[in-house]
């Protein structure tokens, strides 16, 4: 970006998003207009306290062993990690 561009659009930000299946990271361009900006979901954070919960490891095993319709090992890993994140993001906020 040039300084002229930054002067015209001082509130604009660019964020790198997590890639799902591609080898490229998508970028999110925000205008900085809080009135029209979509709600930003909070980030996933792994909590070490989860390891002390007796339900945690059986749930991880169940999620991890669920079948995946993909052949590429990287795609399989990404899908499994996304499932893990989706489940435990809600689980963690309800438990802790």
d(CA 66, CA 44): 21
In order of 10, 31, 39, 92, the CA distances from 34 in angstroms are 13, 8, 9, 28
> Strands, DSSP E only, in the chain?
13-16, 27-30
Domain ranges, ordered by start, for the chain: 1-40, 42-96
Read off the pTM.
Answer: 0.52
pLDDT tens for the chain, 96 residues: list them: 677 777 777 777 778 777 666 777 788 888 776 555 455 556 777 888 889 999 999 999 999 999 998 888 999 999 999 899 888 887 766 665
d(CA 12, CA 67): 41
d(CA 82, CA 1): 33
Q: Is 43 helix (H, G, I), strand (E, B) or coil?
A: coil
């Amino acid at each position: 970006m040039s300084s002229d561009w930054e002067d015209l659009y001082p509130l604009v930000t660019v964020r790198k998003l997590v890639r799902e299946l591609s080898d490229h990271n998508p970028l999110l361009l925000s205008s900085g207009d809080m009135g029209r900006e979509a709600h930003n979901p909070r980030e996933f954070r792994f909590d070490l306290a989860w390891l002390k919960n007796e339900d945690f490891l059986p749930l991880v095993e169940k999620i991890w062993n669920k079948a995946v319709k993909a052949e590429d090992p990287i795609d399989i890993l990404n899908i499994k990690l996304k499932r893990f994140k989706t489940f435990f993001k809600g689980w963690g906020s309800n438990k802790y």
